[in-house]
Amino acid sequence: MAEDSSFAIDRALRQELEGWRRAGLSHLPMPPRKRSAASPASASAKPATTRTPPSSNSFSRTTSPPASRTTSRPTTAPAASTTHALPVVSEPLPPSPHAAGSRDDREWRLNQLRQRVAACTRCQELASARTQTVFGVGNPEARFLFIGEAPGADEDAQGEPFVGAAGQLLNKIITACGLKREDIYICNILRCRPPGNRKPLPEEAANCREYLDGQIAIIDPDFIVCWGATAAQNLMGTEESIGRLRGRTFQHGRATVFCTYHPSYLLRNPAAKKDVWEDMKLFLKQAGLPVPA
């Protein structure tokens, strides 16, 4: 009975929100979030001081995580977002026909989400200008999730994240770390290219948040690397600069989060490469991987 009534409330809420959305209302002002002076980052970005590196050196999982984690579906509300947007509420993905947490299951659910993203028109300016959406790419069982900002011209043309000049540099960093692109899953805060490569607007990040949360829930990474301020600030709901976020670790759900400079920034400021290398060494050490000298 209790489940029936909560289902009915859930459905009524979804219908109400959908009605508002159809009526053209996409965002509601909300009171600013209170921040504690002791913890400038939001609750979703807790410093991760107690995490023990795994003993295995493998880049991807060999065992399925517990079903309770793998059956989670995308969250519908932005987690501690700095934007004051009305959460976008979608229908849950249909149940996967595969064993929860298996590679097939992850691939199936990512494909369902990819189809939703391909049809998305939440950000009208972006949807009307894009060549295609850029969902994400990589190993659905990856332990490592890399998050960038948004597709650029090359990514918009090819439908894959980080394939342009910044992507070439990211590839070099991945190789220097002893990793391969196939060890990683890569996506962005936005799945459409902002015109002129401008920074994503807060409402665009909020509109796309459901897809990012969905990818995180499906891949269920051990480690997330945020490349640049846009990725770090949006993921964790903080306004701290990337210069202050890097060199530390945070907790986002089950994942330990690292933040570092964006490869595009490195192309403009090669002197910052040494900082990124320090960040990568910290990441590799915590991940239990060999740290190159």
What does the binding site for ligand URA look like in residue numbers (CB under 6 A)?
Answer: 148-152, 155, 161-162, 164, 166-167, 188, 264
Q: Smallest distance, Å, CB 152 to ligand URA?
A: 5
* 66 vs 195 by CB, closer to ligand URA: 195
Q: Smallest distance, Å, CB 137 to ligand URA?
A: 9
* 155 vs 220 by CB, closer to ligand URA: 155
* 108 vs 261 by CB, closer to ligand URA: 261
Rg (CA), the chain: 19
For the record, the structure tokens of 165 come out as: 């000049």
Q: Smallest distance, Å, CB 158 to ligand URA?
A: 10
* 86 vs 134 by CB, closer to ligand URA: 134
* 140 vs 164 by CB, closer to ligand URA: 164
Q: Is 221 exposed, middle or buried (0-12, 13-18, 19+ CB in 10 A)?
A: buried
| C-beta of residue 57 within 8 angstroms of C-beta of residue 213 | no
CA distance 212 to 210: 6
Q: Smallest distance, Å, CB 81 to ligand URA?
A: 18
How many CB atoms sit inside 10 A of residue 129's CB?
14
For 88, which DSSP code? P
* 245 vs 289 by CB, closer to ligand URA: 245
For the record, the structure tokens of 148 come out as: 């960038």
Q: Smallest distance, Å, CB 72 to ligand URA?
A: 26
How many CB atoms sit inside 10 A of residue 140's CB?
22
* 166 vs 236 by CB, closer to ligand URA: 166
Q: Is 62 exposed, middle or buried (0-12, 13-18, 19+ CB in 10 A)?
A: exposed
Q: Smallest distance, Å, CB 186 to ligand URA?
A: 7
* Whole-number Cα distances in Å, 272 to 94, 175, 260, 275: 45, 18, 10, 5
Mapped onto helix, strand or coil, the DSSP state of residue 46 is strand
Amino acid at 231: A
| C-beta of residue 224 within 8 angstroms of C-beta of residue 145 | yes
Q: Smallest distance, Å, CB 233 to ligand URA?
A: 13
